Amino acid sequence: MDPKKASGKLQTDSNGRLRHFLTIEGLKSDLLTEILDTAESFSSVAEQAIKKVPLLRGVTVANLFFEASTRTRTTFEVAAKRLSADVLNLNINTSATSKGESLLDTLRNLEAMNCDMFVVRHNNSGAAHFIAQHVAPHLRIINAGDGRHAHPTQAMLDMFTIRRHKKEFNNLRIAIVGDVMHSRVARSQIHALSTLGAAEIRVVAPKTLLPRDVQKLGVHVYHDLCEGIKDVDVIIMLRLQRERMTSAFLPSEHEYFHLYGLTEEKLQFAKPDVMVMHPGPINRGVEMDSKVADGTHSVILEQVTNGIAVRMAIMAMIMGNRHGQEHAS
């Protein structure tokens, strides 16, 4: 199924409010800003003595991860628990799908347990859309990464982190560096940045790691790292997604680091107050030098922290809309 065609009406209700969160594509700038503002209001929950608000009390969230994940799964779990929801973590490798049960049968069983929300990660593009189309109408779906297609909560936590440091998007020049071809993160970030009005979005990669029609996304293409990061405000490094590569895309990791790895010397080409980001997991010495990953420009661990508030906001907005109420602020 083409997730693009399916997303249109599926994600929002007739009032334009969020029902599922499957992709950034097609969402309006106001809605993205509402997510960021709501997340801002939730970020203080982490500083309270009791790190909980009762907003999703009685709601059951099932984490359905068909693909490995540490950060995303655990931050979804922490987010749901801070909203007082009950959380089920399904280890799909040991669950019934590995015994031959179909995905839809697994979903029916979770529905029968009165779950309210599924957070889904799957290696097939379109999996979260497929599930959203086939579950009972009261269920809510959040896409936690589907194949190479989309990773919308990662993009929103990145937008939140950028906004915290830079305030506005409309004067920002941003470079996304590395394996754009296999990256669901890059695709979602490009949609989010252009919807929020970023001044210039660049992608920097060897030809073999860029999708053929990448310019159609409204980005400027660079093949040289120093040129591509010249005078940028934000650098987003991507992981080399070896598990998605079907043939030899690169000569060697050593060669890749030499050409595209971010080092302190190369960082001098960017603006003096440049932010360095990475969705994790980092391959140190492949995408970037440890001195940059742990250096003063890096906001990589802030991204992880911000992921909790942003996921809380998305869950609360979706469930608030289900009950016809406004979310807390």
Tell the residue number behind the tokens 């979903």, with chain if given.
107
* C-alpha span between 6 and 213 (Å, rounded): 21
Q: How far apart are CA 190 and CA 207, in angstroms?
A: 18
DSSP code for 148: T
Q: Least distance in Å: CB of 161 to ligand NCD?
A: 13
Q: Are 26 and 50 in contact (CB under 8 A)?
A: no
Question: Crossing angle, helix 184-195 and helix 29-42, to 10 degrees?
Answer: 100
How far from 307 is each of 166, 207, 257, CA to CA, in Å? 18, 31, 28
Q: How many helices (H) and strands (E) does the chain have?
A: 12, 9
Q: Which CB, 116 or 287, lies closer to ligand NCD?
A: 287
What's the rounded Cα separation, in Å, for the pair 177 and 198?
17
Kindly list the distances between the CA atom of residue 320 and the CA atoms of 45, 61, 101, 307, 315, in Å, as whole numbers in the listed order: 18, 14, 33, 20, 8
Is 249 or 321 the residue whose CB approaches ligand NCD more closely? Answer: 249
Is the CB of 59 or the CB of 314 nearer to ligand NCD? 314
Q: Which residues lie near ligand NCD (CB under 6 A)?
A: 71-72, 145, 151, 154, 184-185, 239, 241, 279-280
CB nearer to ligand NCD: pick between 93 and 109:
93
Nearer to ligand NCD (CB atom), residue 108 or residue 284 = 284
State in angstroms the smallest separation of the CB of 136 from ligand NCD.
Answer: 28
- Backbone phi and psi for residue 84, each to the nearest 5 degrees, phi listed first: 70, 20
Closest to ligand NCD by CB, 72 vs 125, is 72
How do beta strands 173-177 and 234-237 pair? parallel
Structure-derived torsion over alpha carbons of residues 32, 34, 36, 41, reported in degrees to the nearest 10: -170
C-beta of 75: minimal distance to ligand NCD in Å? 9
Tokens 């360095």 found at = 276
Give the SS3 label for residue 321.
helix
- Cβ 244 to ligand NCD, closest distance in Å? 9
Question: Across the strands, what pairs with 69?
Answer: none
Nearer to ligand NCD, 135 or 275 (CB): 275
Question: What is the closest distance, in whole angstroms, from the C-beta atom of residue 193 to ligand NCD in the complex?
Answer: 17
Question: At closest approach, how far in Å is the CB of 30 from ligand NCD?
Answer: 26
Q: Which residue is nearest to ligand NCD (CB)?
A: 239
Does the CA dihedral 160-165-166-168 come out positive or negative? Answer: positive
CB of 247 to ligand NCD, least distance (A): 19
Rounded distance between C-alpha atoms, residue 328 and residue 82, angstroms? 13
19 vs 184, which CB is nearer to ligand NCD?
184
Tell the smallest beta-carbon distance from residue 178 to ligand NCD (Å): 9
Closest separation in Å from C-beta 104 to ligand NCD: 24
When the beta carbons of 66 and 135 are compared against ligand NCD, the nearer one is: 66
